Amino acid sequence: MTILVHSNSELRTALNGLSNNICLVPTMGALHEGHASLIKLAKKYVGSTGCVIVSDFVNPKQFGVNEDFEKYPRNLDSDLIVAQNAGANILWAPDVKDVYPGQWPLEVETDLRFEILEGRNRPGHFSAVIEVVTRLFDIVQPNAAVFGEKDFQQLILIKEMANKRNPKIGIIAGPTRRDKDELALSSRNVYLSSDQRNAAALIPQALKLAIKESKNGANVEMLKSIVKNKLKESDLIEIDYVEILGNDLNAIGANENARILIAVKLGDTRLIDNMSVQLKGNL
Ligand code: AMP
């Protein structure tokens, strides 16, 4: 049975009597099987007696002025069903005033990696993500938290923030859950028309082609071209970026396990994806 709570005091009351071995799964709601897989991972981490809290909060601060904050899909009823089926103990849907009580500033230490990839056209996005996660951690004080590899840049930046600020909180990475045609599940997929949805299957195809060609010796520049050419098979896809970086999001070094990261737009919908690639010998 999953308990639905809103305010921080309701959360505290619900936690009374439950285990204090807590794993937090931060989400913006519109829960799908990708989120469910993270909840199951959290449950595995805390065991049957531990407590999994799923936060369900569309954080206004991390959306830019022209982004989709207003129309971002929200459905608490279906979120409760997904959370319950995946084994969450508490679904916590706070209000803005619960997460941002008062106006005290919270300094976020940034570096160049906040400004690349997703940060390039979304100024302030990652500072806002780090801020909200820090506030959620402060309110819940979990033992661990789960984040998806789907948002790879977010995962890496949060991991480093947590290591510095909350070293006792274990950060667990969940693999990306995909649809039958391997498109990564995303709350934003509901915006796609059926033509756009079909074209979006080129995203995982492009990533997998690059992995295959890296094994055949293609170097980084060749791999980026291969990915771009694959994506260009549909004129519904507008490429934002195709990058290959080290696993810490710094430039790739020698013999590195790297990450290919893609962002595209289909109409007004922006989708991201990434996969791991082994670049040994073909930098
Ligand atoms: P969101 O609600 O989109 O902010 O995502 C909440 C968490 O779910 C983040 O840690 C995401 O990386 C993760 N997530 C989103 N999509 C997927 C997916 N397809 N597979 C696994 N995790 C995901």
Residues 184-222 pLDDT 10s: 999 999 999 999 999 999 999 999 999 999 999 999 999
Q: Which of 151, 279, 150 is nearest to 224 (CA)?
A: 279
Nearest CA to ligand 1 atom 17: 34
pLDDT band at 105 (very low <50, low <70, confident <90, very high): confident
The set of protein residues with a Cβ atom below 6 angstroms from ligand 1 is 27-28, 34-35, 37-38, 147-148, 150-151, 174, 176-177, 184-187
Residue 25 has a pLDDT of 98
DSSP per-residue letters across 20-65: S-EEEEEE-S---HHHHHHHHHHHHHH-TTSEEEEEE---GGGS-T
At residue 221's C-alpha, the angle toward residues 113 and 116, to 5°, is 15
Mutate to test the pocket of ligand 1, among 25, 27, 61, 269 (most ligand atoms within 8 A of CB): 27
CA of 34 to the centre of ligand 1 (A): 6
Residue 72 has a pLDDT of 94
Q: Tokens for 104, please give them.
A: 């005290």
% of the chain surpassing 70 pLDDT: 98
Q: pLDDT, tens digit, for every residue of 132-153?
A: 999 999 999 999 999 999 999 9
Residue 265: count other Cβ atoms within 10 Å of its Cβ: 14
Q: Tokens for 235, please give them.
A: 């004129």
Q: Please, what's the largest Cα pairwise distance for the chain?
A: 58
Please say if the pLDDT value at position 254 is more than 80: no
Residue 283: count other Cβ atoms within 10 Å of its Cβ: 14
pLDDT band at 255 (very low <50, low <70, confident <90, very high): low
Torsion of CA 137, 143, 147, 153, to 10 degrees: 70
CB 206 within 8 A of CB 230: yes
Please tell me the least confidently modeled range out of 154-163, 220-229, 254-263.
254-263
Q: Return the active site residues.
A: 35
Task: Give this prediction's pTM.
Answer: 0.97
Nearest CA to ligand 1 atom 13: 148
Residue 156 has a pLDDT of 98
- H helices present in 59-172, as ranges: 76-86, 96-99, 125-140, 152-165
% of the chain surpassing 90 pLDDT: 88
Counting atoms of ligand 1 from 1, which one is nearest the CA of 176? 20
Average pLDDT over all residues of the chain: 95
Domains, the chain: 3-174 (3.40.50.620), 187-276 (3.30.1300.10)
Residue type, 88: A
CB 154 within 8 A of CB 174: no
**Mean pLDDT on 262-273:** 97
Nearest CA to ligand 1 atom 6: 27
Please say if the pLDDT value at position 166 is more than 70: yes
Q: Tokens for 83, please give them.
A: 């959370």
Q: Which of 123, 204, 150, 202 is nearest to 32 (CA)?
A: 150
